[in-house]
Amino acid sequence: HQERARYEPTAGPGFAQPEDYVTSWRLQHELRPGRCTATDFNFETPTTSLLSSLESKIRQGGNTSLELYDYPGEYLRRDEGEREVRLRLEQEEAAHILIQGASYCRAFTPGSRFELTDHDRRDQNGTYLITSVTHSAQEGGFYSGIGGTQEATYDNTFTAIPYSVPFRPPRITPKPVVYGSQTAIVVGPSGEEIYTDKYGRVKVQFHWDRLGQYNEKSSCWIRVSQPWAGKGWGAIWIPRIGQEVIVDFLEGDPDRPIITGRVYNANQMPPYELPGQQTKSAIKTYSSKGGGGFNELRFEDKKGSEQIFLHAQGRMDVRVRGDSFETIGGERHLIIERDQFELVKKHQHLQVKGDRNERVGGTVSLDVGMDLHQKVGSHFALAAEQAIHLKAGISLVIESGTNLSLKVGGNFISLTPGGIFIQGTLVNINTGGSPGSGAGAHPSSPKDPKEADTARPGERAEMPPPPRPPKPETYSPMASALRQAAHNGTPFCDT
């Protein structure tokens, strides 16, 4: 380590020097950006701005208007961004001034410092950090037959920067880049069929991975592209273990994979045989765990056989908060294997323009809270295998325009416009006896239906605050003129 070195441009070569000199000194200035800015995006804090900016303390050649802007900054927190920006700015500052020199100083090594003295320009005397050294030496020799000798020589060339400027090596090592997309297999713990986290991310094993064990340790969590993604709403399809997915990489960065699609393969075939059923489009799921069931929404587009098929493996809930309209051009068939419950909280209107046929295998109970009106355009027939009981709390009126008959066996009473006719084996008037009685009406109350399942609505997503560009401390003459014109409302030119 050599602490001091004199500047002596006339010093000769060789080892036989009373001291080591610096023989060449060339100062080089380079215009570098006066500000460094970077930003990135963290999906776990999407509304937090990660914009970080730092202005250089070096003022040279109007560099305050020059900015180095980097995206993605490859960081996830603001403090990480501030550190990254500071390092990038120090890299630029380290390159703005460079010393290229030559010397006989054999102790010069990269990373060491020395103090330069006796330079013609006093501002050049000071402490410097050596960033590179190239050594050149030649061993002394003896010329046979002549008797002469050659003296050993040594010199070097070096680069240095002022010691007051922090040294940061330039970013010259390129980061690996993944060109294009890859496919991989979704993996997870043994015994699981679906493995995900709260963000819907999954883990995969790439085909080139020779060390992975097709388990939850094969990769990091990878985000999955969805057809729609809102705040508590959208579409969600979580890739399942064993499925083949397409993996892309943001900015080609291998540390930022994202799943953009899914593909079938020979082990994971489509739900319908192709190309024979190529007109079918469907969403078909698979019951988990264990399988054996599915939910499906299928579209058949074959000309003349168009169909929409809906299958629910278990319960199906439909909730319409407004009106529901249904128009069927042909027939409608409904089969319910067990019970049907229906509740109309206001009015119900039913029109049948043709015939209506109903058959009830058990009992029909009808409970009307107010009036019951029935009108028949032609005949009204009512038959009971055992008894019919009509009871009115106040009055019972049976009216006929032509004939009213009461008949039991061969006995009858007939009421006509021409008179009343009584025919009986024996007619008794005020001779005792008693009226018949009926069981009365006791309709059963219907059971209340259960409500369909419900869900909460999503929310409106919050937008991140707009980034604000850094305000420069100084302006070029043109920028100053435009800024003043905008402030005063002065037009740029007269028209």
Of 96, 73, 93, 97, residue with least CA distance to 83: 73
Q: Please give the domain boundaries of the chain with CATH numbers for all domains.
A: 4-162 (no CATH), 174-266 (2.40.50.230), 270-317 (no CATH)
Query: Rounded to an integer, what distance in angstroms lies between the CA atom of residue 154 and that of residue 23?
Result: 12
Q: Tokens for 305? A: 């056989």
**Selection from 206, 167, 166, 164 nearest residue 187 by Cα:** 206
Buried b (16+ CB within 10 A) or exposed e, 159-172: bbbeeebebbeeee
> Residue 239 and residue 247: Cα distance in Å, rounded?
12
Q: How many CA atoms lie within 13 A of 482 on its CB side?
A: 5
The predicted-structure confidence for 258-317, as pLDDT tens digits, reads as follows 999 999 999 999 999 999 999 999 999 999 988 889 999 999 999 999 999 999 999 999
pLDDT the model gives residue 390:
87
pLDDT of residue 460: 60
Residue 74 CB contacts under 8 Å (≥ 6 apart), including other chains: 40, 84, 253
Q: Residue 20: is its pLDDT beyond 50?
A: yes
In this prediction, residues 201-214 reach a mean pLDDT of 95
Residues 449 and 343: beta-carbon distance below 8 Å:
yes
Helix, strand, coil percentages in the chain from 3-state DSSP, rounded to 5: 10, 25, 65
**Is residue 51 pLDDT above 70, yes or no?**
yes
**33 within 8 A of 66, measured Cβ to Cβ:** yes
What pLDDT score was predicted for residue 42? 93
Neighbouring CB atoms inside 10 A of 79's CB total 9
Strands 21-29 and 4-7: parallel
Residue 103 pLDDT > 70, yes or no? yes
pLDDT at 163 over 80: yes
Q: Is 413 in a helix, a strand, or coil?
A: strand
CA distance 196 to 224: 10
Rounded distance between C-alpha atoms, residue 225 and residue 57, angstroms: 44
* Residues ≥6 apart with Cβ < 8 Å to 366: 443
**Which position has the token pair 């010069």?**
108
| Structure confidence at residue 428 (pLDDT) | 81
Q: In this structure, what token pair is assigned to residue 311? A: 């299958």
Q: What angle do CA 181, 185, 186 make, to 5 degrees?
A: 110
* pLDDT, tens digit (0-9, with 9 covering 90-100), for 382-426: 988 888 888 888 998 888 889 999 998 889 899 998 888 888 888
What pLDDT does residue 15 have? 46
Look up residue 14 and give its DSSP letter. S
pLDDT at 84 over 80: yes
Structure token pair of residue 142: 């003896």
Q: Which of these, 32, 42, 27, 116, lies nearest to 79 by C-alpha position?
A: 42
Cα–Cα–Cα angle for 177, 32, 169, rounded to 5 degrees: 50
For residues 50-58, average pLDDT: 89
Distance between CA atoms of residues 105 and 22, nearest Å: 7
How are strands ordered across the β-sheet holding 307-311? 280-284, 296-300, 307-311
Which of 131, 191, 180 lies closest to 160 in space, CA to CA?
131
285-296 b/e (C-beta count within 10 Å ≥ 16 → b) = eeeeeeeeeeee
pLDDT band with cut points at 50, 70 and 90 for residue 477: low
Q: What is the pLDDT of residues 5-15, one digit of tens each?
A: 999 887 665 54
Q: Which residue in this structure is represented by tokens 């325009």?
A: 401
Give the mean model confidence (pLDDT) for residues 123-143. Answer: 87
The whole-angstrom distance between residue 291's C-alpha and the CA centroid of its chain comes to 27
Average pLDDT, the chain: 86
What HEC string does 222-277 produce?
A: EEECCCCECECCECCCCCCCCCEEEEEEHHHCCCCEEEEEEECCCCCCCCCCCCCC
Q: How far apart are CA 275 and CA 252, in angstroms?
A: 36
**Residue 16 in this model has a pLDDT that exceeds 60:** no
Q: Which of 191, 193, 190, 222 is nearest to 205 (CA)?
A: 222
Read off the pTM.
0.76
Q: Which residues pair with 26 in a beta bridge?
A: 100
Query: Is the pLDDT at 183 greater than 80, yes or no?
Result: yes
Q: Is the pLDDT of residue 87 over 50?
A: yes
- Give per-residue burial for 27-37: e unless 16+ CB within 10 Å, then b: eeeeebbbbbb
Q: Which residues contact 40 (CB under 8 A, 6 or more apart)?
A: 50, 71, 72, 73, 74, 75, 76, 81
Whether residue 124 is predicted with pLDDT greater than 90 in this model: the reply is yes
